[in-house]
Structure 1
């Protein structure tokens, strides 16, 4: 395989230089990393071993934010709506295929039988090849992992199902499931899938009959903790963004060969960190906004802090099938390569290596005849007669040395032709903060790419696709009103110039649901229905209970049950639905027992206790 990979690089390199004819149909073992450089109109291959660019291919229509995923014999440029295939042997584009999901950037996986695109929000797994295979998962997915045998593992966020897609399969099998309501993520320990339950603080190996017995992590992590997709020498990296802590959890107890040792916890500087990645005995933590890569050993010791060159958009961290880590950006001008031993290097992405100018030869010099030799006592040999000189009225000039000719003037530089404008880059620093029912969205300027940015297009929707909206603005902020309590939203921002609309930045946010509460007070006396307060002794003590529910699920039916301290009180209550904000107001449950205590319950939620007064 190593010889085939080396031969593949040699062939594509020769194909670029024209030394050999392109070889069609040859399969190459995936290695290195392809990067999109829209400014050059090229996709370029970075050789992770030599840390150099060794191949390139021209692909039309490249845009910032596009990515490349590779299989055995082809690479695929993945854009917002289509995948463009090119051959790795002849570097020629063979066609484009529409993607089944648009508006969502998928997770790219390179593994045997792939490559794959996993659309987490849409719940779809796509296998690329000469024909595209779409495998629906039925619901939103967590981060996928891919084993070396070609099996892709995913977990359903809503049901907790843990599913696998073997090489060449066209449907998922789900042999295991997490407990209902438990959050978590998948990882690989060696090649064995493991589910990390961040709700329970445990992890379990995935077996053919379900999840194997759970083992305590030994450290408290929040449900939103981020789990590396593979282990680093038997330790799983878990990042806690709420505390800026990296936990390295020993997995020995999963193999039953020995008990695990306590986790290692590392405090990291504040930052906007992506999900950690592991290779060899190294854990990499990428601060996207700080543009810094921090690497740690499996023992928790820091190894290196590597700056990421500035480019539009957030840097992306991915793992190649060669087990190296690669960090690139939307402009594709640099790739940082991380080896399994933790060493990292920046590889500038250029179309051609720099060439040295050939040496300039010095101008020829006409030799000067030697002076006459001094007299030796002998007469000089006779000289031939000189030719007759033309008549001249000017005296003859004395003889002089021949002047060397002036060097030729350098050729004129060709005129500089401005590159045509392309759509803008991805807006940076996208963030959203929620206050009440409104989100304030902000971002930094997108790279104009040859033409001024004239507008930013902002769009949003809830995670289930409802509540969608959009607006255009010339500024770099926007407000999204009418947020539903407890709902999670995805917002996207794309820049526009005269060449078109660029790729969008996206982020998610949630309007927190208030804690359910019930408040009761004395209401008014029932009007027009004397059956409720028809006894003289009931007046004026008889009145409705005024009940206000807030913070419940919107548009949901609840049974409201009144209660009283006197044992003879009996009221069946009623069932009604909350409004779109999760609220409900009732005037119901007439009461007249002066001096008794009344209250209302909805499930396990209880109201305040009210002592009933005469008026």
Structure 2
């Protein structure tokens, strides 16, 4: 691939999957000391796949490498619930609740309400997991705290790169959004072709966009899409992509056919025809791609050259689901969670039955008498069989009576020890405070005298009956972990640590902008608005200002002024400006508004006609000593309009004289016409407009000065 597309060849080696193994010593320490959180500082990674079995009301972990079920936790749920895992916790996601369980303690930690009734598309990646509600345009990063991000419209199927960046296409809006690990607000800065359909895939850990409208493939660059490369196939708008490549090829499922498109050469795509069916997928291990026919419950896998393997799936109600684990294996399970089929990186299949009932459970759930798999040891020694003895000869001696004092010996007293660890330590952040709660600790035969709560920079002691305390004077924005230890007459017991919390000040919206002015330029049909920055921009991040003009026009700007053109309103109206910031959850919050009312166009003056005696003249009436022109001024008439001037005299009602002229751009016209010479006569002028309206001037006595 030439041009920008050549970046694909830069990294072909896949990153290894790394698992953190917690040594058995931690389990021994927990058993001896009662520590409730022995691995709180370690990311408890379990490569493999969690599946929810509704009959067992349990979530079970399948180790893809061994094909064994190696962990189980009792979690309430319903058939079809999905399971996604983060670093320390797993999440059972249903339509009405999300249940979090600890991966180390295998116990339910809390429940929450989903952000949408829509079935979530889950992505397990660094900083996640994420739940994407594609139709509603919502992205939820589950965990503590949970973050809900709004995308203002539907999104396509997301993909993730190994640095934890989540990529989401918004083809209807023509934007590609990304959520970096730890971000609270998505960044939608990469433009996509307007009106084009398409989907994303990751090739050698680089994101590509497949445009199914133009049948081209583009790398995603920092400033936009790279140069398009022809797919070599006609893709429909319903085509579905595997989120990762198959040996450098993009796998595209289009109806009953898989196309494996090479991203690094001009070779023709590999085409694989599938039997007629209803397919889920495709999903790739990196070496093979798999699809599931939901009609026949058949699993098909193909390698990079199209070689086929197939497997009939165990019968189970509901549609089978196929997902890729963080160990690059594929896992196929049914709605009830009774079977899992593992597809290894090279395409090999492993059946893993999820057994039900109490008699054949392979992994004891948390809370059973068994804390783990039994440890093999030497078989117990069998006692020698009893020897047959002859009964003794009869004796006349009385049998010896047992000494009751010898049989009722008092067992040795167990000495008291330091107390056990408090259970269920948790912390909730506040404004420069945190509330720490815990469960009772075992006193170990010595009455408790109190609890000691410790954190970086301080400690406090509570009474023995207290189960929570609020820690004041903490630094907002600083993360704290609190350790609680019980105290008795022997000493201080082992501590249990809380979840990390970060105190924050209450969210504060922006105050109103200052110095707001708005001017309506009626002639140019423009409204110009100016304002100053709010005195208090609040505690959130600035987004933009919203300028609302009279309720009929609204714009968003980041500066301190706005000019709105094409506003044809002559009456007064209200202009409002509001600063918008983001709250800690990433939602946009408008601040206090500033408002001002514009002035309406002043009413137009009525037309007027003013007559005066003009310059002397000898034309027409030169024989008369008072012969002069009539000077007439017409004001406030429609601009550029032909008007008619007509002169009248009371001396001769039959006399009149007319003249037409055009008003200027200001509606003004003046004339020197109608020579007149009749001293003492009363004269006047009338102006007539094209619509027939007539306006009379003042009346003057001619020759009166």
Using structure 2 for the length normalisation, give the TM-score. Answer: 0.47
Q: Cα–Cα, structure 1 residues 299 and 194, in superposed 2: closer, same or farther, change >3 Å?
A: same
1:441-456 aligned at under 5 Å gives the runs none
Which residue is equivalent to 2:324? Answer: 319
- Residue pair 1:12, 1:89 contacting (<8 A) in 2 also: no
Paired with 1:101 and 1:270, the residues of 2 have a C-alpha distance of: 34
Quote the offset at 1:168 in angstroms: 0.7
Q: Cα–Cα, structure 1 residues 15 and 263, in superposed 2: closer, same or farther, change >3 Å?
A: farther
Paired with 2:284 and 2:80, the residues of 1 have a C-alpha distance of: 24
Which residue is equivalent to 1:89? Answer: 104
Paired with 1:114 and 1:331, the residues of 2 have a C-alpha distance of: 25
Matched, 1:116 2:122: no
Which residue is equivalent to 1:286? Answer: 292
Paired with 1:41 and 1:321, the residues of 2 have a C-alpha distance of: 24
Structure 2 unaligned regions, length at least 5: 1-14, 356-360, 365-372, 395-705
Structure 2 SS opposite 1:275: strand
1:426-575 aligned at under 5 Å gives the runs none
Provide, for residues 164-190 of structure 1, a one-character-per-residue CA deviation record: whole Å limited to 9, x for no partner: 111111112223233222111110011
Paired with 1:16 and 1:2, the residues of 2 have a C-alpha distance of: 31
Which residue is equivalent to 1:309? Answer: 314
- Residue pair 1:30, 1:71 contacting (<8 A) in 2 also: no
Structure 2 SS opposite 1:5: coil
Quote the offset at 1:10 in angstroms: 6.3
Which residue is equivalent to 1:33? Answer: 49
Quote the offset at 1:96 in angstroms: 0.8
1:164-175 aligned at under 5 Å gives the runs 164-175=178-189
Structure 1 SS opposite 2:21: helix
Quote the offset at 1:58 in angstroms: 1.1
Which residue is equivalent to 2:218? Answer: 204
Which residue is equivalent to 1:98? Answer: 113
Paired with 1:296 and 1:172, the residues of 2 have a C-alpha distance of: 35
Quote the offset at 1:260 in angstroms: 2.7
Which residue is equivalent to 1:296? Answer: 302
Q: Cα–Cα, structure 1 residues 4 and 210, in superposed 2: closer, same or farther, change >3 Å?
A: closer
Quote the offset at 1:6 in angstroms: 5.6
Which residue is equivalent to 1:69? Answer: 84
Which residue is equivalent to 2:342? Answer: 337
1:168-207 aligned at under 5 Å gives the runs 168-207=182-221
Using structure 1 for the length normalisation, give the TM-score. Answer: 0.54
Structure ID, larger Rg: 2
Quote the offset at 1:18 in angstroms: 11
Quote the offset at 1:319 in angstroms: 1.0
Paired with 1:197 and 1:2, the residues of 2 have a C-alpha distance of: 31
Provide, for residues 145-175 of structure 1, a one-character-per-residue CA deviation record: whole Å limited to 9, x for no partner: 1111000001114223111111111112223
Which residue is equivalent to 2:260? Answer: 248
Provide, for residues 460-495 of structure 1, a one-character-per-residue CA deviation record: whole Å limited to 9, x for no partner: xxxxxxxxxxxxxxxxxxxxxxxxxxxxxxxxxxxx
Which residue is equivalent to 2:362? Answer: 352
Matched, 1:47 2:57: no
Structure 2 SS opposite 1:276: strand
- Residue pair 2:72, 2:363 contacting (<8 A) in 1 also: no
Number of aligned pairs? 361
- Residue pair 1:13, 1:54 contacting (<8 A) in 2 also: no
Which residue is equivalent to 1:151? Answer: 165
Provide, for residues 526-577 of structure 1, a one-character-per-residue CA deviation record: whole Å limited to 9, x for no partner: xxxxxxxxxxxxxxxxxxxxxxxxxxxxxxxxxxxxxxxxxxxxxxxxxxxx
Provide, for residues 413-444 of structure 1, a one-character-per-residue CA deviation record: whole Å limited to 9, x for no partner: xxxxxxxxxxxxxxxxxxxxxxxxxxxxxxxx
Structure 1 unaligned regions, length at least 5: 253-258, 370-385, 388-615
Provide, for residues 369-396 of structure 1, a one-character-per-residue CA deviation record: whole Å limited to 9, x for no partner: 9xxxxxxxxxxxxxxxx99xxxxxxxxx
Matched, 1:260 2:266: yes
Quote the offset at 1:97 in angstroms: 1.4
Which residue is equivalent to 2:629? Answer: none
Paired with 2:279 and 2:29, the residues of 1 have a C-alpha distance of: 40
Quote the offset at 1:4 in angstroms: 8.0
Quote the offset at 1:13 in angstroms: 9.3
Paired with 2:24 and 2:173, the residues of 1 have a C-alpha distance of: 48
Q: Cα–Cα, structure 1 residues 281 and 12, in superposed 2: closer, same or farther, change >3 Å?
A: farther
Paired with 1:19 and 1:3, the residues of 2 have a C-alpha distance of: 33
Which residue is equivalent to 1:604? Answer: none
- Residue pair 1:9, 1:55 contacting (<8 A) in 2 also: no
Which residue is equivalent to 2:239? Answer: 225
- Residue pair 2:26, 2:39 contacting (<8 A) in 1 also: no
Paired with 1:20 and 1:341, the residues of 2 have a C-alpha distance of: 44
- Residue pair 1:9, 1:54 contacting (<8 A) in 2 also: no
- Residue pair 1:12, 1:55 contacting (<8 A) in 2 also: no
Q: Which is worse superposed, 271-280 or 228-237? A: 271-280
Paired with 2:31 and 2:343, the residues of 1 have a C-alpha distance of: 29
Paired with 1:32 and 1:240, the residues of 2 have a C-alpha distance of: 29
Paired with 1:158 and 1:62, the residues of 2 have a C-alpha distance of: 35
Paired with 1:166 and 1:184, the residues of 2 have a C-alpha distance of: 22
Q: Cα–Cα, structure 1 residues 282 and 128, in superposed 2: closer, same or farther, change >3 Å?
A: same
- Residue pair 1:237, 1:276 contacting (<8 A) in 2 also: yes
- Residue pair 2:21, 2:45 contacting (<8 A) in 1 also: no
